[in-house]
Amino acid sequence: MRDVAIIGIGVTKFGELWDKSFRQLIAEAGAKAIFDSGISGKEIDALFIGSMSAGRFVGQEHVGALVADCAGFSHMHIPATRVESACASGGVALRQGYLAVASGMNDIVVVGGVEKMTDVVESEAINILAMGLDQEWEAFFGVTFPGIYAMIATKHMHDYGTTREQLAQVAVKNHANGALNPNAQFRKAISLESVTKAPMVAYPLGMLDCSPLSDGAAAVVLCAAEKAKKYTQKPVKITGSGQASDMLPLHGRKDICTFEATVHAAKKAYNQAKVEPKDIDVAEVHDCFTIAEILAIEDLGFVKKGEGGKAIDKKITTLGGQIPVNTSGGLKAKGHPIGATGVAQIAEIVMQLRGDAAERQVKDAKIGLAHNVGASGASCAVHIMEAM
Amino acid sequence: MRDVAIIGIGVTKFGELWDKSFRQLIAEAGAKAIFDSGISGKEIDALFIGSMSAGRFVGQEHVGALVADCAGFSHMHIPATRVESACASGGVALRQGYLAVASGMNDIVVVGGVEKMTDVVESEAINILAMGLDQEWEAFFGVTFPGIYAMIATKHMHDYGTTREQLAQVAVKNHANGALNPNAQFRKAISLESVTKAPMVAYPLGMLDCSPLSDGAAAVVLCAAEKAKKYTQKPVKITGSGQASDMLPLHGRKDICTFEATVHAAKKAYNQAKVEPKDIDVAEVHDCFTIAEILAIEDLGFVKKGEGGKAIDKKITTLGGQIPVNTSGGLKAKGHPIGATGVAQIAEIVMQLRGDAAERQVKDAKIGLAHNVGASGASCAVHIMEAM
């Protein structure tokens, strides 16, 4: 397989975007990415789109064809493939695009991710998200995402002494980062107290421990690495791509405080990229809830299992720390339009490796990692990138 | 890219399967395919699953992880990716699996397709299927699939003189074939009169011109061609894989009687396989409605545009004819559990090329083609296969 580079990125504003439709969002992100890359639309060989539940959120399946059409490519008749892996839909779509170029089948591919979540009432959105859990063994009985992650959080507190304040500090950090990101849904720094005193959702997770419902889209342009410099002076190479699965419901896993899908996807990505966790300069990880970021930095090997909470206290993952995590604001503050999330993570890492991240730039960032989790951890995509 | 072979196939009975769940169906098809291939489950590197709308039909997204889990592979943590392209979900999933092996990333991949459509009331199923159309420009205004294909049929009758009886003969042929297929939903030959006198759905399409709502699943095992003989004496090589898209709603297409996505996908597949339409010995085409089969045989180049109806009269496509089409019974008689359809088409062609199709065997079939269309033609996957 040949090397693959990212030559263009585009992200919409994330938020409650009442004035923009599903198709407007993905068309906007795609147009930005294509413009950023310097390619002509005619050069695109294929599209891959990540979306969790367009069928439920906006009553639209056949998402690949829809996007090819609304982006203006229907006359080119290129393959357009929609990929779904719950909240990891974007990361898994990226991997399919990566494979299409790495295999030699395609030279230039656009990967997009999109979700329009605020056209349904909130209770319905919660039900739709719960379809990423096991419907027959979990969701049917009334458990929702916050409940699942609350169980994980209390177990982590029990097993490792992780504290309520450590969880809250994840939100404080990510909101501080989000305040620096023009596309973030929440651009407001928050205090520790505001998190710990926010209305309870599912103990120990309060309202500010949870990522929001969001509308938004993101896109990246992939190209055979050997041709990347033809388009851009700052291509970013995908050096590792890992994807893995795990038991869908929590009840059968050996340890609910470890996401084996993350462990396995990361291992594959590290091996392919020939790097170790300590080599990563900047990472976007899947913080759908504050506890999820603590699990992520453990399962990715940035810290030992059980030490995620302490790492937050030590500010290892803050901007300026040893390994800044979620400089974009993460799902927590940037927002979490499901299908867009995994692709937007890639876009953030590309900005960092290009040195284009302005106020939230990580100094001398050379190697970055993006970590995208499906639902409660039954799927995961990890990508490692390096500036070329 | 390296050559890819199909070494195992598995198809469930199609029909209204009240006693089998979504997960039971795909697990059954997968187990049959794995058993047929002679591989051990431990050798599987990745799963790809085609499903149109598990979110709407059974309230379950995260379909890849679900299938990895219910098939017993969650402990292996292999990548499991769900692909959606409306009614072409199965064919597009096959293409992703093909790419995974052709690229060298994976050696052995299982591709499955599944839909469980009869757990919702019929009117809801009709609404779900209409989500493969353009929601904002078509479905929202009340048009459903039969209405769309009825417009195409009347235009075809107007432009080319295609008759009501020619449409009906497609159903008669496919029911005759389905009667020979133990897995078909309808195993009953029907008369021309029964089709033309059946209750009208949308002129000129009556009830027996429409494929049914179905439950079912299908799976195939793919392997690097150079290793195929290690597992089976009768591997079938995928010699061409084409995928294409078109404008989603009908109104913007130059000619609603031509599916450009079929034309382009077929062209790519023929070029890659280095064959022409006249070289195809047996084909499974996407006959969601009788008119769709007439379009398909024209757009695939088996006959000239406009001569599809006459070709049916001449019995070119019947078993024993020049190019037998839909020996399985097609979507019309075999059934059309959406995600399963594209994969089941592949399984039928593999049976034919192995010489295992019993009563419906096409004599000396060497080259076969499978043609899977998304909704009203905005996406298409075409695969060409040869016995090794």
Out of A87, A210, A288, A380, the active site residue is: A87
The interaxial angle of helices B89-102 and B338-354, nearest 10 deg, is: 60
Q: Would you call A53 and B61 a contact, using CB atoms and an 8 Å cutoff?
A: yes
The predicted model gives B61-87 an average pLDDT of: 97
Tell me whether residue A126 is in a domain: no
| Residue of A64, A243, A247 lying closest to B69 (CB–CB) | A247
| Residues B192 and B322 grouped into a single domain | yes
Residue B339, SS3?
helix
* pLDDT for residue B93: 98
Percent of chain A with pLDDT over 70: 100
Out of A264, A286, A336, A371, the active site residue is: A336
| Residues A38 and A181 grouped into a single domain | no
* pLDDT for residue A174: 98
The predicted model gives B342-360 an average pLDDT of: 98
pLDDT category of residue A236 using cuts at 50, 70 and 90:
very high
Rounded to a whole number, what is the distance in Å from the CA of A160 to chain B's nearest CA? 25
Check if the beta carbon of residue A186 is closer than 8 Å to that of residue A174: no
Torsion of CA A157, A160, A165, A168, to 10 degrees: -70
* pLDDT for residue A272: 98
pLDDT category of residue B379 using cuts at 50, 70 and 90:
very high
Residue A163, SS3?
coil
Residue among A75, A77, A260, A264 with most chain B CBs within 10 A, to mutate:
A77
Active-site annotation holds for A380: no
Tens-digit pLDDT profile for residues B282-302: 999 999 999 999 999 999 999
Q: Would you call A74 and B246 a contact, using CB atoms and an 8 Å cutoff?
A: yes
Q: Would you call A77 and B261 a contact, using CB atoms and an 8 Å cutoff?
A: yes
ipTM: 0.98
C-alpha span between A376 and A378 (Å, rounded) = 6
- Tell me which H or E stretch contains B81: strand B80-84
Tens-digit pLDDT profile for residues A155-198: 999 999 999 999 999 999 999 999 999 999 999 999 999 999 99
| Residues A335 and A206 grouped into a single domain | yes
pLDDT category of residue B256 using cuts at 50, 70 and 90:
very high
| Residue of B82, B86, B102 lying closest to A103 (CB–CB) | B102
- Type of residue numbered B39: I
pLDDT category of residue B145 using cuts at 50, 70 and 90:
very high
Tell me whether residue B190 is in a domain: yes
Q: How many cross-chain Cβ pairs, A to B, lie less than 8 Å apart?
A: 213
Contacts of A73 (CB under 8 A, 6+ apart): A41, A44, A47, A80, B245
| Residues B159 and B29 grouped into a single domain | no
| Residue of A77, A136, A252 lying closest to B264 (CB–CB) | A77
Contacts of B32 (CB under 8 A, 6+ apart): B9, B10, B11, B12, B219
Check if the beta carbon of residue B11 is closer than 8 Å to that of residue B344: yes
pLDDT category of residue B18 using cuts at 50, 70 and 90:
very high
Check if the beta carbon of residue A379 is closer than 8 Å to that of residue A246: yes
* pLDDT for residue B74: 93
| Residues B203 and B219 grouped into a single domain | no
Tell me whether residue B234 is in a domain: no
| Residues B277 and B359 grouped into a single domain | yes
Tens-digit pLDDT profile for residues A87-128: 999 999 999 999 999 999 999 999 999 999 999 999 999 999
pLDDT category of residue A30 using cuts at 50, 70 and 90:
very high
Check the CA dihedral A83-B96-B262-A26 and report its sign: positive
DSSP label of B198: S
Please report, for the domain that includes residue B31, its CATH number. 3.40.47.10
Domain range spanning residue A227?
Answer: 4-121+214-236
Percent of chain B with pLDDT over 70: 100
| Residue of A56, A62, A103 lying closest to B99 (CB–CB) | A103
* pLDDT for residue A382: 98
Burial grade of B130 (CB within 10 A; 0-12, 13-18, 19 or more): buried
| Residues B377 and B315 grouped into a single domain | yes
Residue among B63, B81, B373 with most chain A CBs within 10 A, to mutate:
B81
Which chain A residues have a beta carbon less than 8 Å from that of B135? 58-60
Q: Would you call B247 and A69 a contact, using CB atoms and an 8 Å cutoff?
A: yes
Rounded to a whole number, what is the distance in Å from the CA of B317 to chain A's nearest CA? 28
Domain count for chain B, please give it.
2
The predicted model gives B115-131 an average pLDDT of: 96
Mean pLDDT (chain B) is: 97
* pLDDT for residue A210: 98
Q: Would you call A379 and B62 a contact, using CB atoms and an 8 Å cutoff?
A: yes
Active-site annotation holds for A223: no
Q: Would you call A77 and B105 a contact, using CB atoms and an 8 Å cutoff?
A: no
Which chain B residues have a beta carbon less than 8 Å from that of A95? 79, 81
* pLDDT for residue A7: 98
Nearest chain A residue to B261 by CA distance is A77
* pLDDT for residue A311: 98
Tell me whether residue A382 is in a domain: yes
Residue A226, SS3?
helix
Which chain B residues have a beta carbon less than 8 Å from that of A44? none
| Residues B105 and B131 grouped into a single domain | no
| Residues B163 and B44 grouped into a single domain | no
* pLDDT for residue B57: 97
Last residue of a domain, one of B198, B228, B258: B228
Q: Would you call A79 and B244 a contact, using CB atoms and an 8 Å cutoff?
A: yes
Q: Would you call A85 and B82 a contact, using CB atoms and an 8 Å cutoff?
A: yes
Nearest chain B residue to A66 by CA distance is B248
Tens-digit pLDDT profile for residues B191-221: 999 999 999 999 999 999 999 999 999 999 9
Rounded to a whole number, what is the distance in Å from the CA of A31 to chain B's nearest CA? 18
| Residue of A23, A135, A245 lying closest to B64 (CB–CB) | A245
| Residues A192 and A296 grouped into a single domain | yes
| Residues B84 and B111 grouped into a single domain | yes
| Residues A313 and A339 grouped into a single domain | yes
DSSP B253-320: SS-TTS-HHHHHHHHHHHHHHT--GGG--EEE---SBHHHHHHHHHHTTSS-TT-HHHHHHTTTTSTT
Tell me whether residue A127 is in a domain: no
Tell me whether residue B327 is in a domain: yes
Q: Would you call A85 and B81 a contact, using CB atoms and an 8 Å cutoff?
A: yes
Check if the beta carbon of residue A175 is closer than 8 Å to that of residue A186: yes
Which chain A residues have a beta carbon less than 8 Å from that of B103? 1, 99, 102-105
Mean pLDDT (chain A) is: 97
Tens-digit pLDDT profile for residues A255-312: 999 999 999 999 999 999 999 999 999 999 999 999 999 999 999 999 999 999 999 9
Burial grade of B289 (CB within 10 A; 0-12, 13-18, 19 or more): buried
The predicted model gives A29-52 an average pLDDT of: 97
The pairs formed by B365-369 with CB atoms below 8 angstroms and a separation of 24 or more are B365/B281, B365/B282, B366/B281, B367/B239, B367/B273, B367/B275, B367/B279, B367/B280, B367/B281, B368/B280, B368/B281, B368/B282, B368/B283, B368/B284, B369/B269, B369/B280, B369/B282, B369/B283, B369/B284, B369/B300
